[in-house]
Every structure is written in C-alpha cells, then in structure tokens.
Amino acid sequence: MADDRPDLLPPDIQPSVRLPIVILRVQAANLTRRTGGVIQAEVVTTEGDRQVQHGFDLIAPALSYRERLFSVRHGKQRVFPVAVQAPCFSKQRDSSFPMKFPRSPFAKLDEDERAAGTESEFIELLRQVFSSTEAKAAITSLVAQSNETRASPADAAIAPENLRPKTQDSPREAGGTAPEEEGEQSAGGSEGPCESG
C-alpha cells in the first residue's frame, strides 16, 4: 500500500535550529581561539522598532583598533529570513540566494547583501564571508600588525636589519667585511633581482 501522506518538507526544517546571534557568537569565539587571542571578535547588537542588527567586529587589542567585518539583520519577531551585508557580496550577485523576501522587514536587499531563509543558508553565507579575500585580508593584516606591535625587544634585536653592521662602526670593527670586499656597489648601484625601478 502506497503512503498517502508524503513528507514534502525540505531537509532544512529541523527541530534544532539556532538563532543567528548564537551562530555569530560561536564564530566570534572561534576567531579569537584561532588567532590565539591576538585578534578578538565581538558581536554588537542594536535593536530598532522592527529590526535587529548584529555587527561582527574585529578587535586588535595591541593596536587599540576595531573594525566591522560584516553585519547581519533580521526582523524583531522573525529571525529568518536574515540578511548578511559584507563587502564581498558587492562584487557579484549569486542567483542561488534570493534578493527579495516580500513579507520580511527588508523587502529589497542592498547590493552588498544576501538573504538566507534557513539556518543552513545562513551558515553558507557566513562561510562565504569568512572565506572571502576581503575578510582574510582584514584578519591577516590585523594579526601581522598586532604581532609586530607586540614583538619584544629581544625579537627586535635579532631582526635581519639589526644583524648587519651598524653604520657608525667600521665594518671591520663590527665583524663584517667592507662592501668593496664583498663586491657590493654603493647606494647608487644596480638593483637586486626582486626590485623594480
């Protein structure tokens, strides 16, 4: 006997759906853990009459710097659909994600936004944001700058530029050889293989 009660619901309909803010807080903790605390992330929430917005901020404590990586907004009563606004989305529009949700608090999306109707779609949008060139560059730059700021004096003492003889000492006194002896040219000489004029 055939089943006359087919299950037509999509696989996204599950009993264990998380709120967007919970997913964002988990990612903020992941980023802080992944960078060893050099970069921290914070989710900043603001509520309006009809909408809630969550900003995902990068914080570089060593630099006393904060930057918004992306933001998320959804209705106050309904958390889905949720719109994700990020610089990486302004490059091109992916037709697999809807541009409009007619009955939502945001009937039309901006050029740099994409909307998700389910938790799995939201997670996919976040994956795209974190994997984007813009996000990776922002995070990597802050880590590098923070590491440079946090470098100890001992680290600076063994930096390559500090291993060369000092200019006020003669090369022989510092244990080196004179530039003429090494075949080097003066400051007005030819450029190395990686430098361009």
Q: Give the three-state DSSP class for 11.
A: coil
pLDDT of residue 174: 45
Rounded CA Rg of the chain: 26
For residues 143-171, give the mean pLDDT.
64
* 73-112: pLDDT as tens digits: 999 999 999 999 999 998 655 545 444 444 455 556 788 8
Tokens of 179: 């530039």
Cα 20 from chain centre: 18
* pLDDT tier, 165 (very low <50, low <70, confident <90, very high otherwise): low
H-run or E-run covering 122: helix 119-131
- Reported pTM: 0.68
pLDDT of residue 102: 47
For residues 55-82, give the mean pLDDT.
96
Say which DSSP state 15 is in: S
pLDDT of residue 105: 54
Round to whole Å and give the CA distance between 1 and 107: 45
pLDDT of residue 12: 80
Round to whole Å and give the CA distance between 29 and 142: 17
For residues 167-184, give the mean pLDDT.
46
CA dihedral 86, 88, 92, 97 (to 10 degrees): -50
pLDDT of residue 109: 79
* 2-57: pLDDT as tens digits: 668 999 998 888 888 899 999 999 999 999 999 999 999 999 999 999 999 999 99
pLDDT of residue 160: 55
Domain boundaries, the chain: 20-141
Round to whole Å and give the CA distance between 20 and 56: 12
pLDDT of residue 151: 74
* pLDDT tier, 158 (very low <50, low <70, confident <90, very high otherwise): low
- pLDDT above 90 coverage of the chain, percent: 55
